Amino acid sequence: MDNPKYSKFIILEVTYKVFNKQDIKAYVMVPKALMSGIYPVLVTFHGGFFTTGSSLYATWFAQWVLDYALQNSAIIVTADYRLIPESNGLDILEDISDFWIWVREELQTHLNRFQPGISADISKVIVHGGSAGGHLALHSGFTQAPGFIRAVIAAYPGMGVDRSDDRPILGAAAIPKSILEDHLKSMVPGKIVTAADPPARMPIALSITQQKRKAEFLGTDEMLFPMKVLEKVDAVPFTFILHGKDDSAVPVDYSIKFADRIKERFGEGKVDLRIRPGEHGFDGEVDVNEPWLQEGLSRVTSLWLGD
């Protein structure tokens, strides 16, 4: 929380859920410049192959997201969640659902206690996520009550499926299978993991992906696949997707097919897909004022802040 990247925010830590007597954390990031008043909310979920990462891991927290919140005087709320292989995909979705209940019912109580005078406008909420977090952002947008989430921003979102090709992921060499097997043997039943800052657990994440064992640990329930969820819903919020065309972790074709299906079901105006040069995580240091990003965010902003 002391990282200079977050120097313009007051960061409040909160336990939004307890599982097996183990805390699962969320963080409320209030811009220091805010005076007493009511402010919109930007929720963001971290990535990490559902295996590593944490809410405040600065390397993966895109600078433009922080700047976008500052530009719009928004409160950021970000949550940890159970990670695989100690937990599974439905466990993760349960955490995300419980987190949204906390946002609706407890966020303001927490602000009243620690930042009196600052109010969260729960009628003006958007959600962002990158990679696995993009998956959770899409899931949230599609499964929360219609109209609650005004727009979704999904950066190179994972789709819950194993890749069909064998290209090196992020340039990583093959991880010995023993790395994952040894980790599985060391797991303690009932003990969960909810946060890890890379390089911690990255070899496990890469090994699961390289061995195409995602379904084994994440699960196969239809709710774990955004494309299948998309087929079941009757409405979706506006969705802005950004993806690097050279992505070796989540192929850009996934986002192209997903955006095309949104258009087929709900019309051209419900999605904006921006494909840019770059690898997975290409937007990490992108300036929020880049024209292509501002163009993509313009619709999000109007939906988010409009009456």
pLDDT attached to residue 307: 78
Give the Cα separation of 30 and 111 in Å (integer).
9
Helices (H), the chain: 63-71, 89-105, 107-114, 132-143, 177-186, 202-210, 214-218, 226-232, 252-266, 291-305
When divided into structural domains, the chain yields a total of: 1
pLDDT score for 162: 64
Give me the tens of pLDDT residue by residue for the chain, a chain 307 residues long.
689 999 999 999 999 999 999 999 999 999 999 999 999 999 999 999 999 999 999 999 999 999 999 999 999 999 999 999 999 999 999 999 999 999 999 999 999 999 999 999 999 999 999 999 999 999 999 999 999 999 999 999 998 776 656 677 887 888 999 999 999 999 999 999 999 999 999 999 999 999 999 999 999 999 999 999 999 999 999 999 999 999 999 999 999 999 999 999 999 999 999 999 999 999 998 999 999 999 999 999 999 999 7
Q: What is the CATH number of the domain that holds 72?
A: 3.40.50.1820
Beta partners for 273? Answer: 241
Q: Are strands 22-31 and 75-79 parallel, antiparallel or unpaired?
A: antiparallel
pLDDT score recorded for residue 1: 64
C-beta separation of 43 from 83 below 8 A: no
Q: How distant, in Å, are the alpha carbons of 31, 145, 176, 197, 303 from that of 74?
A: 7, 21, 44, 26, 14
pLDDT for position 171? 78
What span, in angstroms and rounded, lies between the C-alpha atoms of 233 and 236? 7
103: domain range?
Answer: 4-305
pLDDT recorded at residue 165? 60
Cα four-point dihedral sign 263, 266, 267, 273: negative
- The answer for residues whose C-beta is within 8 angstroms of residue 84's C-beta and 6 or more apart is 50, 51, 92, 208, 217, 218
118-130 and 37-45 strand pairing: parallel
CB 135, CB 158: distance < 8 Å: yes
- 85, 156, 178, 283 from 183: Cα distances, Å: 9, 28, 8, 32
- The DSSP output letter for 204 is H
Q: Which residue has the tokens 């349960």?
A: 94
Residue 163 is predicted with a pLDDT of 60
The predicted pLDDT at position 65 comes to 99
